[in-house]
Amino acid sequence: MRRLLLILKNDILRHLKAPVAILLYLIIPIAMTGLIGMIFTPSSKDNTLPPIQVVLVDKDKGLASRLFLGAFDADQMKKMFQVTVADEAEGRRRMEKGKASAMVVIPARFTLDVLEIKPVVLEVVKNPAEQFLPDVVEEFMNTMAVMLSGAIQAFEPEARGIRLMLDGPIDAFPWESLGPEFGKAQKKVVAAEKYLNPLLIRLQEEKTKAAGAKAFMTRSDIFSAVLPGMAVMFLLFIVQTVMRDIISEREDGKLRRMLTTPLRPGELIGARIAGGWLMGFAILLVMAVFGTLVFKAYWGSPGYFLLLAAVTAFWTASFFALMNAFLKNRNQAGAISAPVILAFSVFGGSMLNTEAMPKAFQAIGLATPNRWFIDGAALVREGRFPAAALLVLAASGLILLFLAVPLLRRRSTV
C-alpha cells in the first residue's frame, strides 16, 4: 500500500508540473458554458410577446369597415395587435422588410355587400418569412368573420333597412317607421343577452408553476443546466490523457524498468487507475466551484453531488483503463479515444438536448456516462437523490475495472 501511495503521489506531482493540457481542458468547457449562457439568457424577466404587426388595407372606407377597424382599438386587442392602415403596395413593402406579419385587405363594397347579406371575402396575406405570427392573425380574422356573419344574419331585417337608408335621400326616408323597427331590434338584443350575459363558460387566466420551479429562466439557471454536460465531456478528455501513461510507460520501456524493482504489477496498475480516478474527481470539483463562484451555478446538495462526481470519475478511469489494455501505442490511443468521447458527448447530451433527439439516439445515450451524470446532476439540483445514475455508473464501472485489471496485468508482463 505504501508503494502504491508513493507512485500515486509522484504521478500527481508530475502532472501538476506540466499542467498545460489539463488547464486547457479546464478552460474550454468553462468558456463554452459562459458563451452559451450569454447567448441564451433571456434579456428580461418579462416573457410577454410584443404586439403582432398587422397592415390593414381599407378599400371600402365605409361604415362596416370602420366598425371592423374599431374592433382593433379595444384594450385587449391592442395588447395582441398593432394595426397600421396603409395601401396594399405599402403593406407588401412592410412585409418584405419584416415590419409586418400579415396584411388584411378589406375589399371595395364591403359595407354594401354586408348590408345586402351577400358573401364577402376578407383577404389575409401572410408574411412567408415568418412561421407562427401570421397564423395567429389568420385565426383571429376567421373568428371575427364568424362573429360578424352571425350578427348580420341575426339582424338581417335591420341590416337591409340600413342599406335602404344609404341609397335614398334623407328627406324621403320615413323616419316615423323607425320606432317599430328599433323595438324589434331591442327584443333581439334582450333575447341575445340571456345567452351572452353572463356567459355560461368563461375563461380564467391563471399562472401556475411546479413546486420549487421558477417563473422564468435566469442566467444562472442556464449555466446550471449547461455546465454539467460540458464538465463530463472534458472530464473524459482529461482522464484519458492521464490514463494514457499506461501506454506511454509500456512504449518507452519505463514499465519494464519499474517491474525490476520490488514493485508488483498490481500496485502499478492500481496506482494508475486511482490516479485517473482522483484526477477526474478533482477536475469535477474545480469546475463545480468555479461554476458556483463565477456563473452562480446551482448544484444542489453538496453531499449528493460529491458522491455523483466520485462515481462518475471512477467509471471514467475504469473505462480508459480497459481501453488502454487493448491499444498498442499512444498514436492509436489518440486516434480512437477522441471519436469515442465525441460520440459519448453527442448521444449523451453534452452537445445536444436529449429531449430533442430521436428515440433511437436517446436509447444509445443510456450507454454513455454523460447521460447518467447529466440526469443525475439534474436530480441533485431538484433536491432528489440520483439513485439510478449512481447504481448504473458504479455497477458498470466495477465491471469495467474487473475486465481491465487482468488485461493490464497480462500486457505489463509482455
User: Residue 78: its pLDDT value, please?
Assistant: 80
What is the pLDDT confidence band of residue 210, given thresholds at 50, 70 and 90? very low
User: Residue 215: its pLDDT value, please?
Assistant: 47
* pLDDT over 80 (residue 234): yes
Q: Distance between CA atoms of 377 and 335, rounded to whole angstroms?
A: 30
Three-state SS for 205?
Answer: coil
User: Residue 201: its pLDDT value, please?
Assistant: 45
What is the pLDDT confidence band of residue 292, given thresholds at 50, 70 and 90? confident
Task: Name residue 303's amino acid.
Answer: G
How is the chain split into domains, by residue range? 2-42+218-412, 52-154
Which CATH fold would you assign to the domain 52-154? Answer: abc type-2 transporter like fold (3.40.1710)
User: Residue 199: its pLDDT value, please?
Assistant: 47
- The answer to which of 7-16, 42-51, 98-107 has the lowest mean pLDDT is 42-51
What is the pLDDT confidence band of residue 311, given thresholds at 50, 70 and 90? very high
Helix axes 265-294, 219-243, angle to 10 degrees: 160
- The rounded mean pLDDT for the chain is 77
User: Residue 211: its pLDDT value, please?
Assistant: 47
Q: Is-contact 380 299, C-beta < 8 A? A: yes
Compute CA distances 253 → 25, 238, 257, 355, 385, whole Å: 28, 24, 7, 48, 46
Q: Is the pLDDT higher at 309 or at 132?
A: 309
Region 106-129: mean pLDDT is 85
Q: Is the pLDDT higher at 229 or at 392?
A: 392
DSSP conformation letters of 64-85: HHHHHHHGGGSHHHHHHEEEEE
Sheet holding 123-126, edge to edge: 81-85, 52-58, 102-106, 123-126
Compute CA distances 204 → 78, 147, 193, 201, 207, whole Å: 19, 21, 21, 10, 10
* pLDDT over 90 (residue 379): yes
Q: Distance between CA atoms of 320 and 337, rounded to whole angstroms?
A: 9
SS3 content of the chain, % helix, strand, coil (to 5): 70, 5, 25
Q: Distance between CA atoms of 301 and 306, rounded to whole angstroms?
A: 9
Q: Is-contact 134 101, C-beta < 8 A? A: yes
Three-state SS for 91?
Answer: helix
* pLDDT over 60 (residue 372): yes
Region 260-270: mean pLDDT is 66
Region 242-246: mean pLDDT is 76
Q: Is-contact 81 52, C-beta < 8 A? A: yes
Q: Distance between CA atoms of 44 and 34, rounded to whole angstroms?
A: 18
Q: What are phi and psi of 233, to 5 degrees?
A: -65, -45
User: Residue 324: its pLDDT value, please?
Assistant: 85
ω into 134 cis (within 30 of 0): no
Q: Is-contact 99 125, C-beta < 8 A? A: no
Q: Distance between CA atoms of 67 and 148, rounded to whole angstroms?
A: 11
Region 96-115: mean pLDDT is 87
Residue 152 is placed in which grid cell?
348580420
Compute CA distances 346 → 70, 231, 354, 366, 392, whole Å: 54, 14, 9, 12, 19
What is the pLDDT confidence band of residue 141, given thresholds at 50, 70 and 90? confident
* pLDDT over 60 (residue 291): yes
Q: Distance between CA atoms of 313 and 39, rounded to whole angstroms?
A: 30
What is the pLDDT confidence band of residue 5, given thresholds at 50, 70 and 90? low
User: Residue 315: its pLDDT value, please?
Assistant: 95
* pLDDT over 50 (residue 70): yes
* pLDDT over 90 (residue 398): yes
